[in-house]
Structure 1
Amino acid sequence: MRVTVSLQKESYRWIFKQIWLRKGVIREPQLQMPRFLANKDIEIVDPRPSRPTYPPWGPPVKDDPRFMPTPRLEDHPDYHEDYVYEFNTKTRLLEGEKQALILTKTQPFYELPDNVQKLIGAVDIPDQDELIQRYIMQANVWDPTKKKLPKRFNAQIPGWKFKAETGIPRRRIMSTLTQNLLRLCQSLGGRYPDLLQGRRFAPEAYVSSSYSFHGNNPILIQGEVEYLMSSNQPLAPFGSEDVIDSSVTHSLPDMFPVAPTIDLKHQHIWRDTNITGWREGFSHPHPHTLYLTCSDFWSVSQRNARGLAFCFAHALALAHSKYGNDTKTLPEPISTQCVMTDGATFHFVCFQLNTLNFDSGDGVKNLVWFDNNNEMYNKILPKRTMLRNTKYEDYDPEVFKKILALYVNGARL
């Protein structure tokens, strides 16, 4: 960069501030008697008016919340001096999937389980592909929503300045597409009554569950997922007894010298309660499939970590409600599923909770199956022109078949 005269010019404003910090002093004026009046009996009167005194002010309404003092954390009824490590929907793990495997004591597999793969293509819907392509266009193009969009950036042309644009927000695109796909799955209820009677949907489903990691590190997982499908019957285990027994010899990843809890927030306000999201006696208490929308720009590994953590949280909350918080060995495994999407690419997670013993990394492990980067369609953004020139190509019908396989898993077809 060429140094010009303007850059070499001194900032007198900055210089004045520095001098004022060192030498600037405000002195109150004092009354001093002149020397020629010192020996004369003359009373000196301060000409400055005295400052009036007012009674202390208070709000007209004593309990007006606008003028209440800022509450302290220590005054909260759920405050604890000992903090817990909190994992929520905004927690971004440094090592992503690897770190989540350590925290949940889990052995990974990188394909869908056998009992789910057998269901791919087992059921179909009339005009299935045509309807899904219309859903894609409805979410991305046909929606009349017009809101100011974030400023675009293209790493290939960093100097290019994009114009301000209005259109459909990214979160709305994902929500619209997810709702339409779920409604298409629910249309199977007329053909298979078990899907209609044995499934319940809950938007913004909340879960909260805690456990002790390696004896002295309490971890609290809490947050909401966009949609939760629950069932009146538990999912069958994804892994057989032989797979569970062989997990004893599996070694968890190692992050030494970094602690796996490094990215978890220290939380002093928490409740030692187990929340599944359902009242006691609910007819469909078993978590079946979680649906998460990813409006961030995280890596695939970090998204897998979030999906794994919330599948684990729902399974753990159900285990604590059924068997108590002190149980270490489960009578039978608890299985959950998860579907994550950013509006075009889908990631699938199948989790099986086998043990509640988190004192060490030895012994039986929990199991998880990942199936990543399933592109339903290719969304080609224009390089320099406006977003209205976006192209949608390469529709893949196999992606929805996997979504449908997870949906009908556990039902009598």
Structure 2
Amino acid sequence: LADDPRFYVPPKGEEKKNYRETPAFLYNRNCRFIEGTKQACFLTKSVRYDGMPESVQQLIDKFEVPDESRLVQKAILKSQIWDSTREKLPKRRDPEYPRYKIDREYGIPLEKRLNMLSFDLLRMADTAIASQYPEIGRSRRLIFYPNGMATFFKYSDSLLSFYLGIDAAITSTSPLPPFVPEELVESSSSEAIPSLYPISPTIDFLKTNNYNLKNSIGFSEISCKFPHTLILLNNDDWSEDERQARALVTAMGLAVAQVKKTYPGIKDRLPTPISVQVINMSETTMNFTYFQLNTIDFDNSEAGVKNFVWFDTGNVLFERRLPQPWKRDKILETSLENLDLDPFKKLLATVGNCAELEDSSTQFKEKLIEL
């Protein structure tokens, strides 16, 4: 038969509908930067700072969650132990004794543990902030798995196309204000960004002639149309530096998509900077990235004003100790240790950033949905 799938011959690249003569470099969330944040900063023309912006740092003690320790512990236990899911887990090798053959384990898959914990913490933070400051709750939307975030632009002589995979996003009725004043933006012209020469920052992108050009922020533009905070879940074996690089490029891509809608045709410095926050979470650790886009002139990393990025990396919420049956003490069960609430306080400050913080008599306990 002519349509027998066993003898199907896929069309060649030049025969497909999306074939173009000019090649493009494609980026998605699986694109792993060899040089990590150094490479991402050079690509995005960003001056790097470590820690949180001062405007966010000041909010760490602004929000209160009654029984905070108990609620965070419940969220952790729910995701790590209490869930009844028992699936065959991937084979585990312990770097401390890689030759030891560990018996096949059954339990909660990593992706499900990560989803449950992160979304419970986000919901708890969102509820706590909205109960203290109702104006925030009315001006925000928490969207899970937004679809279709993409943009494209020219970099030197190359065309770059970005497809941004995001696990959740907080949107707002008003944009985030800049993290730094205008004077510091002006002075950034004299800042130097470490070069990667002779390596191109797009070395890890996929070069292809089959692509589509799309610009979309991925959510409705009717009410809460401004991006506020992006959430990326890390169920991979990347280093924290590589994860922060992914967070920066994702924030830049969404900011550029917003620029194309807000200031069509602009080529260099923006009239008003665009700010985006990113929380990227692994099973036990939170990383925070704060990006301020001042210009979309990425071609020359030395001339003109620069963009800004802040990295707050390696905030360990708790430690997960896995069984090591070859040891004499016979550690046969997974244990959860060393809870630290500071990462959750930073999460509260990030989610609650830049809204009108007017006192409200509404009590958090009246609003909280038990985990």
TM-score computed with the length of structure 2 as normaliser: 0.90
Decide whether aligned partners of structure 1 residues 88 and 58 sit closer, same or farther in structure 2, where only a CA change above 3 A counts. closer
Once the two structures are TM-superposed, the CA of residue 68 in structure 1 deviates from its matched residue by 5.3
Query: Equivalent residue of 1:333, what SS?
Result: strand
Whole-Å separation in 1 of the counterparts to 2:314 and 2:114: 16
Name the residue aligned to 2:152: 210
Does 1:232 find its partner at 2:194?
Answer: no
Name the residue aligned to 1:296: 236
Once the two structures are TM-superposed, the CA of residue 371 in structure 1 deviates from its matched residue by 0.3
Once the two structures are TM-superposed, the CA of residue 130 in structure 1 deviates from its matched residue by 0.5
Does 1:273 find its partner at 2:214?
Answer: yes
Query: Equivalent residue of 1:288, what SS?
Result: strand
Q: Which has the larger radius of gyration?
A: 1
Letter in 2 for 1:231: S
Query: Equivalent residue of 1:389, what SS?
Result: coil
Letter in 1 for 2:348: L
Once the two structures are TM-superposed, the CA of residue 223 in structure 1 deviates from its matched residue by 2.5
Does 1:368 find its partner at 2:309?
Answer: yes
Whole-Å separation in 2 of the counterparts to 1:307 and 1:399: 17
Decide whether aligned partners of structure 1 residues 167 and 325 sit closer, same or farther in structure 2, where only a CA change above 3 A counts. farther
Name the residue aligned to 2:338: 394
Once the two structures are TM-superposed, the CA of residue 65 in structure 1 deviates from its matched residue by 7.1
Query: Equivalent residue of 2:170, what SS?
Result: strand
Once the two structures are TM-superposed, the CA of residue 67 in structure 1 deviates from its matched residue by 6.5
Name the residue aligned to 1:28: none
Whole-Å separation in 2 of the counterparts to 1:139 and 1:387: 21
Whole-Å separation in 2 of the counterparts to 1:246 and 1:391: 50
Name the residue aligned to 2:44: 104
CA RMSD in angstroms, aligned pairs only: 1.8
Name the residue aligned to 2:356: 412
Q: Which of 141, 160, 174 lines up with 1:219 in the alignment? A: 160
Deviations 1:175-232 (A, max 9, x none): 0001101111222323322122111122222311111112x01111212210011100
Decide whether aligned partners of structure 1 residues 212 and 58 sit closer, same or farther in structure 2, where only a CA change above 3 A counts. closer
Q: Quick check: 2:217–2:258 contact (8 Å CA) kept in 1?
A: yes
Query: Equivalent residue of 1:224, what SS?
Result: coil
Whole-Å separation in 2 of the counterparts to 1:264 and 1:186: 36
Once the two structures are TM-superposed, the CA of residue 146 in structure 1 deviates from its matched residue by 1.0
- 1:55-74 matches, within 5 Å, as 57-58=1-2, 69-74=9-14
Whole-Å separation in 2 of the counterparts to 1:372 and 1:190: 29
Letter in 2 for 1:265: L
After TM superposition, the structure 1 stretch with the greater mean CA deviation from structure 2, 113-122 or 317-326, is 317-326
Whole-Å separation in 1 of the counterparts to 2:331 and 2:53: 39
Q: Quick check: 2:248–2:289 contact (8 Å CA) kept in 1?
A: yes
Name the residue aligned to 1:287: 227
- Percent pairwise identity: 34
- 1:279-358 matches, within 5 Å, as 279=220, 281-358=221-298
Name the residue aligned to 2:366: none
Gaps of 5+ in 2: 358-371
Decide whether aligned partners of structure 1 residues 254 and 384 sit closer, same or farther in structure 2, where only a CA change above 3 A counts. farther
Once the two structures are TM-superposed, the CA of residue 75 in structure 1 deviates from its matched residue by 2.9
Once the two structures are TM-superposed, the CA of residue 121 in structure 1 deviates from its matched residue by 1.3
Whole-Å separation in 1 of the counterparts to 2:18 and 2:43: 25
Q: Quick check: 2:175–2:275 contact (8 Å CA) kept in 1?
A: yes
Tell me which of the two structures has the higher relative contact order, counting C-alpha pairs closer than 8 angstroms and 6 or more residues apart.
Answer: 2
Once the two structures are TM-superposed, the CA of residue 95 in structure 1 deviates from its matched residue by 0.4
TM-score computed with the length of structure 1 as normaliser: 0.81
After TM superposition, the structure 1 stretch with the greater mean CA deviation from structure 2, 75-84 or 99-108, is 75-84
Once the two structures are TM-superposed, the CA of residue 382 in structure 1 deviates from its matched residue by 2.3
Letter in 1 for 2:155: F
Once the two structures are TM-superposed, the CA of residue 329 in structure 1 deviates from its matched residue by 2.0
Decide whether aligned partners of structure 1 residues 160 and 232 sit closer, same or farther in structure 2, where only a CA change above 3 A counts. same
The total of aligned residue pairs comes to 351
- 1:5-16 matches, within 5 Å, as none
Q: Quick check: 2:281–2:287 contact (8 Å CA) kept in 1?
A: yes
Whole-Å separation in 1 of the counterparts to 2:149 and 2:34: 23
Whole-Å separation in 2 of the counterparts to 1:229 and 1:269: 32
Query: Equivalent residue of 2:29, what SS?
Result: coil
Letter in 1 for 2:124: L
Whole-Å separation in 1 of the counterparts to 2:75 and 2:246: 26
Whole-Å separation in 2 of the counterparts to 1:115 and 1:393: 32
Q: Which of 155, 159, 175 lines up with 2:95 in the alignment? A: 155
After TM superposition, the structure 1 stretch with the greater mean CA deviation from structure 2, 322-331 or 96-105, is 322-331
Name the residue aligned to 1:166: 106
Once the two structures are TM-superposed, the CA of residue 247 in structure 1 deviates from its matched residue by 1.6
Q: Quick check: 2:320–2:337 contact (8 Å CA) kept in 1?
A: yes
Q: Which runs of 4+ in 1 moved over 3 A?
A: 64-69, 385-388
- 1:52-91 matches, within 5 Å, as 57-58=1-2, 69-91=9-31
Whole-Å separation in 2 of the counterparts to 1:213 and 1:382: 49
Letter in 2 for 1:390: T
